[in-house]
Amino acid sequence: MIRYVTRRLIQMVFLFLVFLTVTWFLLYILPGDSVALKYAGNPNIPPQAREVAMERLGLDKPVLIQFRDYMFNFFQGDLGVSFNQYPRPVVDIIGERLPRTLVLFLTALVTYYWAGFVAGKYLAWRRGNRGEMAVTIGGVGLYSMFLPFFAFMLIWFFSVQLGWLPISKFLDPEQWRDAPFAANQVFMRLFWVALIAAFAMFAANFAGHRSHSRALERILRVGGGALVIAGFLYYWFGTESGQSMRPYAGDIAFHMILPVLTLTLIAFAGVMLLTRSSMLETLREDFILTARAKGLPEGVIRDRHAARTALLPVVTSLVLAVATVIDGGVITEAVFSWPGMGEILISSVLNEDIPVAVGAFAFIGVLALIGHFVVDVLYGFLDPRIRVTEHG
């Protein structure tokens, strides 16, 4: 397992280098309005910045030297300076936005994968072709829903018509006017709290799954869940740091509902359809018959045998879906004016703030690679066959 992880890690680092190279050549060598032209002709660039940029990037130097300088600077954490927020370093902007994106993105990802998996599991279990067409068309309808359109429909319905939820942005400026925290501190705290809670939940579930006595499993699952929730509540209501931050964290969570809902509704159908067909396939396997013959209760056959095995292709699909999911996140951020990585990517592209655009894209690439790595490791963890026989 450790060897497997190390190997994947090395592969990822290598892939990241290739990714940076390809991106650089794509953007700097592309015909037409090249970067050099954009730099020279961009009215947004302050004159002194233009000179600095031209010199620093050495746009008159040979291509390979430029490339070397770019890579060198990148790994020193120097991604250049924003034109629109001159002279703010790009790294600074990205550092500010990364936690906001992570919190939104991970929440949405966990929500919709879970929802899709559970929905698909029960749909397959109920079986019967009745409703197959309705489920497929409904699922494909949601899945191919034009994201901005759907998001605005939801905003219109929940925020404009019903007035329940905020229209956009990630916090309510009124409330934050004299807040003792920077928004990012709260985001980081949210991120860690959620991560710890998720990990504890996973550990409890996993321990339950491993134990063979049904009673122990239930105790571990329910008890672990309750313990996590209790810890969560204790942190926000019982401790001093939690209490002081709670209203602000709450405000952010409130602003997160609609974007997460949008992403979940659009993306969960894909997971649902996949889980359903994977589960139907698994249910035809001989080991399901064996499990039945063993006299196991239906719920155990469904969860421990069918769903557990049907999960494998669903996790594999996550490998392919990481990119799609990030795309969805980028668009959602733009629609909800959620000031994260995706939003800065789009606004910098529209404002021709090239250093920021390239930097943001590079970090989105990093996110995709990390996501890929995590999924790979998770898969190795879930499928014992991978751990031993490993190719490529």
Partner 1 sequence: MVERNLPAETHMADPFVSEPIIQEVDSWWRIRLALMRRSFRDNWKIFRRNKIGVFGLVIIAFWGIMAVMPTVFFATGFWSPAVYDPVTGLELDPPTRTMTMVERITDPNTEIDQRAVLLDGRIPDTLRIGDTFDLPLQPAPPDGRHWLGTDPLGRDILSQLMHGARASFFLGIMAAVVTVVIATTIGSMAAYFGGIVDSALMRFADLLIMIPGVALLIVIGAVFTYQLWHLAVVIGILSGFGGTAIVLKSQALAVKVKPFIDAARVAGGSARHIIFYHLIPNVMPLSVLYMMFTVTGAIQSEAILSFLGILNTDTSWGLMMNLARTQGYLLQVADFWWLTIPAGMAVTLLSGAFFLVGRGMDEIVNPRLRRR
Partner 2 sequence: MTARRLPLETSAGRAPLLEVSGLVMRYETDAGEVSAVENVSFSLGRGEAMGLVGESGCGKTSVALSLLRLAPDNARYQSGSVLWEGVDLLGLSHQQMRQHRWAEISMVFQGAMNAWNPVYRVGDQIREAMYQHFDPPLKPREMDQRVERLFELVGLDPTLQTRYPHELSGGMRQRAVIAMALSCEPKLIIADEPTTALDVIVQAQILEELKEIQEDLGLSVLYISHDMAVIAQVTDTIGVMYAGKLVEFGSTRDVFHRPRHPYSYLLLSSIPSVTGPRRRPVSLEGTPPNLLAPPSGCRFHPRCPWATEQCRKDEPPMMEIGPSQWAACWNSDQVPEMGEQLP
Stretch that binds partner 2, among 52-60, 149-157, 173-181, 208-216 (CB under 8 A): 208-216
In angstroms, the CA 269 to CA 136 distance is: 9
Report in angstroms how near the CB of residue 278 gets to partner 1 at its nearest: 12
Radius of gyration of the chain (CA): 24
Which amino acid makes up residue 279? M
Contact 280, 126 (CB under 8 A): no
Contact 184, 176 (CB under 8 A): no
Q: What is the DSSP string of 294-348?
A: TT--HHHIIIIIIIHHHHHHHHHHHHHHHHHHHHHHHHHHHHHT--SHHHHHHHH
Closer CB to partner 2, residue 257 or residue 296? 296
- Should residue 369 be labelled a site residue for partner 2 when binding is judged by CB under 8 A? no
Report in angstroms how near the CB of residue 308 gets to partner 2 at its nearest: 6
- Should residue 95 be labelled a site residue for partner 2 when binding is judged by CB under 8 A? no
3-state helix, strand and coil shares in percent for the chain, rounded to the nearest 5: 80, 0, 20
In angstroms, the CA 129 to CA 140 distance is: 17
In angstroms, the CA 53 to CA 47 distance is: 10
Closer CB to partner 1, residue 196 or residue 323? 323
291, 322, 333, 372: residue in contact with partner 2 (rule CB under 8 A): 291
- Should residue 290 be labelled a site residue for partner 2 when binding is judged by CB under 8 A? yes
- Selection from partner 2, partner 1, none that 269 binds (CB < 5 to 8 A by kind) is none
- Should residue 130 be labelled a site residue for partner 2 when binding is judged by CB under 8 A? no
- Selection from partner 2, partner 1, none that 133 binds (CB < 5 to 8 A by kind) is partner 1
Closer CB to partner 1, residue 168 or residue 211? 168
- Should residue 213 be labelled a site residue for partner 2 when binding is judged by CB under 8 A? yes
Q: What is the DSSP string of 19-70?
A: HHHHHHHHHHH-SSS-HHHHHHH-TTS-HHHHHHHHHHHTTTS-HHHHHHHH
2, 388, 391, 392: residue in contact with partner 2 (rule CB under 8 A): 388
Report in angstroms how near the CB of residue 292 gets to partner 2 at its nearest: 5
- List residues near partner 1 by CB under 8 A: 15, 18-19, 22-23, 26-28, 30, 32-35, 38, 129, 133, 136-137, 140-141, 143-150, 152-153, 155-156, 159-161, 167, 320, 322-324, 326-327, 330-331, 334, 342, 345-346, 348-350, 352, 354, 357-358, 360-361, 364-365, 368-369, 372
Report in angstroms how near the CB of residue 289 gets to partner 2 at its nearest: 6
Distances (CA, A) of 118 to 46, 178, 319: 54, 43, 19
Residue of 329, 349, 351, 324 lying closest to 340 (CA atoms): 329
Stretch that binds partner 2, among 5-13, 43-51, 91-99, 210-218 (CB under 8 A): 210-218
φ, ψ dihedrals at 81, nearest 5°: -125, 140
3, 130, 177, 385: residue in contact with partner 2 (rule CB under 8 A): 385
In angstroms, the CA 357 to CA 368 distance is: 16
Residue of 295, 274, 279, 272 lying closest to 125 (CA atoms): 279
294, 320, 324, 337: residue in contact with partner 2 (rule CB under 8 A): 294
Collapsed DSSP state (helix, strand, coil) of residue 268: helix
- Should residue 218 be labelled a site residue for partner 2 when binding is judged by CB under 8 A? no
- Should residue 312 be labelled a site residue for partner 2 when binding is judged by CB under 8 A? yes
- Selection from partner 1, partner 2, none that 92 binds (CB < 5 to 8 A by kind) is none
Interface residues with partner 2 (CB under 8 A) are 127, 212-214, 285-287, 289-297, 305, 308-309, 312, 382-385, 388-389
